[in-house]
Structure formats: C-alpha cells, structure tokens
Structure 1
C-alpha cells in the first residue's frame, strides 16, 4: 500500500483571486469531462466572468474556503466548503465543486484534499457537521467520502437530468463531534 512518503509532493492551499484563471480552467475541464457529476454544466460555467470566479475564491475565515491541490506548480484538484449562513443552521457546512484532473488521479489527491478540508472544518468553532451530495455514478468519490467518515442519510432520485438521463445523488454527512 502507498504511504504519503511515496506519493508525489503535493501543495494544498486555499485558493484566492489570483488563482481565478487556473481554477476556472480546471473547473471547466471537470464540467466537460464529468457532466454526470455536477449540478452545473460547462456551457453555464463558460458564462461566468473571471471577476465573479475570483470573488468566490477568497477565503472567509470560518465561513468559506476553496482548497487547491498543486502538483509541480499545476492546479490539479480543488474542493470548496461553505458554512450555512442561517443562524439555526450555522452548525452545518457543505462541500461542493470537487474535482481532480484525470492525470492526477491514483495519487490520492482527492483524499489529501479532503483530509485538509476536514481539518479546516474541525478548526471552525461551532461547526458540527459537513454535508455533501454525490452522484451515484461517481464510485471512487463515494468510496473516498465513506473512508473519511461520511455516511449516507438520503437518496435524491433524479437529482440531475443530463442529456435525457436521470442521475440519482446520495446525500452524505460527517459529524465532526461524533454525532
């Protein structure tokens, strides 16, 4: 079994406005390559301005972060966590926009990103659970989330409708306090 010492050096850090163009291209690539995995389509995303993308990347302490994974200086993966703003729901946060470029797969980039993101979440006072939705077609992602302590709490039938095909999504949660 691989250990972290045998894996290529990976730099994981919060993205910011200066990363907007690289992030835009990575996300667009993901939307094109894996249309069954995302709620937004590539054509929709192409209409986003770089200014809007940049504004959404800046970390807000305890509220929002998009982590990027860099191999040899190239952005190869990203995932975002956003805390719920509603007073009665501030104990929850959601993960979305998760993608690892095909060339970086098999190097535990997703696992290393998720571990770092969950460490960030555990450091947020009052944050008790992290939720996500994952397309049932995304077997590797579902395995990753389960291995990191996420459990399924619901199935949304026909959550996505892509090119005439209905895609179900599992809703998963990880309780940071043991739940």
Structure 2
C-alpha cells in the first residue's frame, strides 16, 4: 500500500472538501448538479471533522486521494445508524487513484474503528444504486444488503443500505 489512512488535518479540509464535491458531481450523484444543496455539505470538511471523525487516504505524490466520514449512531452525521451502531458516509476516491485499494482501505479503517468499540454491534452505510463498484467492495468485505432500511433523503432518490454485523 503506497498511501496512508489517517485523520484529516485542518490544512487539508479544503482539499478534501473539493475532492468530495467534485467526485459527487463527476460521478453524477447530485441530482441538481452544481445547484444541489448537498454540494455545500460535502465541501464542509471542517464541520464534519468537528462533529465526527474524518479519515483520509494520503500519499506523498498526490496528497489527498480519498476520504470518508465515520460517525456513531445517534450523532449528527449518522443518517441511519442508531445507538449501538456506527456508520460511514461520503466515501470518495480520486479518479486517478481508483483501482489501488483506496476505497477498501478507507472502509476497513471505519470497520476497525467500529469493531474496537465495545458498545458497537454493527456498522452501516447508505449508497446510491449507481455506485456499483462500491457495492462490490462492501459485499467482498462481508456487508449484507438491508433493504428494510433503504430510505429517501429527498423524494424519488432511494438509497440502498448495507450492514456488517460484529
């Protein structure tokens, strides 16, 4: 592995925010493109880092090549996790770094954090139906679909959910 997974640093907030926003835009994940309200949320790494844990994949040549937000159930950044669960969100990998195991390494870091918490029984996530390569990572790592938890953050935009039991 030619990159490191670690906590985001304040001087990297803007870089990760830009990467996160651009990834969602370029991958067609924002229904309203540049005008989507969620774009500002994605770019606000400073807020996420204050209210949850934000991890990055960094290498010496390219800087930040990926990121993810890790949250405990019942906290601000948990969309579907309830107390006793953890959740990860906003998983992104720079296009040039795809295929290097960055996404899987970020997911594994979240799983390891959740497993280390005695009160945590599982880790959960929501994902867009378009994110087929991410679904393959989750399934390879043992996550299972939880269709009973699927939800719509906005009308007509259904997100799929997965969980990994410990």
Band the TM-score falls in, shorter-chain normalisation: 0.7 to 0.9
Q: Which residue of 2 aligns with 1:66?
A: 54
Question: What CA RMSD, in Å, does the superposition of the two structures yield over aligned residues?
Answer: 2.8
Q: How far off is 1:29 after superposition? A: 1.2
- Is the Cα contact below 8 Å between 2:25 and 2:34 reproduced in 1? yes
Is residue 169 of structure 1 aligned with residue 162 of structure 2? Answer: no
Ranges in structure 2 where 5+ consecutive residues have no aligned partner: 76-81
Deviations 1:81-118 (A, max 9, x none): 110237xx320122110111110001111111111221
Deviations 1:52-80 (A, max 9, x none): 5313214x7xxx32110012251011111
Q: How does 1:115-154 map to 2 (within 5 A)?
A: 115-154=108-147
Q: Given the superposition, is the C-alpha separation of residues 90 and 157 from structure 1 closer, same or farther in structure 2, using an over 3 Å criterion?
A: closer
Determine the C-alpha separation between the residues in 1 that align with 2:118 and 2:151: 34
- CA radius of gyration, larger in: 1
Aligned residues: 157
Q: Given the superposition, is the C-alpha separation of residues 26 and 75 from structure 1 closer, same or farther in structure 2, using an over 3 Å criterion?
A: same
SS in structure 1 at match of 2:147: strand
The normalised TM-score by structure 1 is 0.74
Ranges in structure 1 where 5+ consecutive residues have no aligned partner: 1-6
Determine the C-alpha separation between the residues in 2 that align with 1:141 and 1:14: 22
Q: Which residue of 2 aligns with 1:3?
A: none
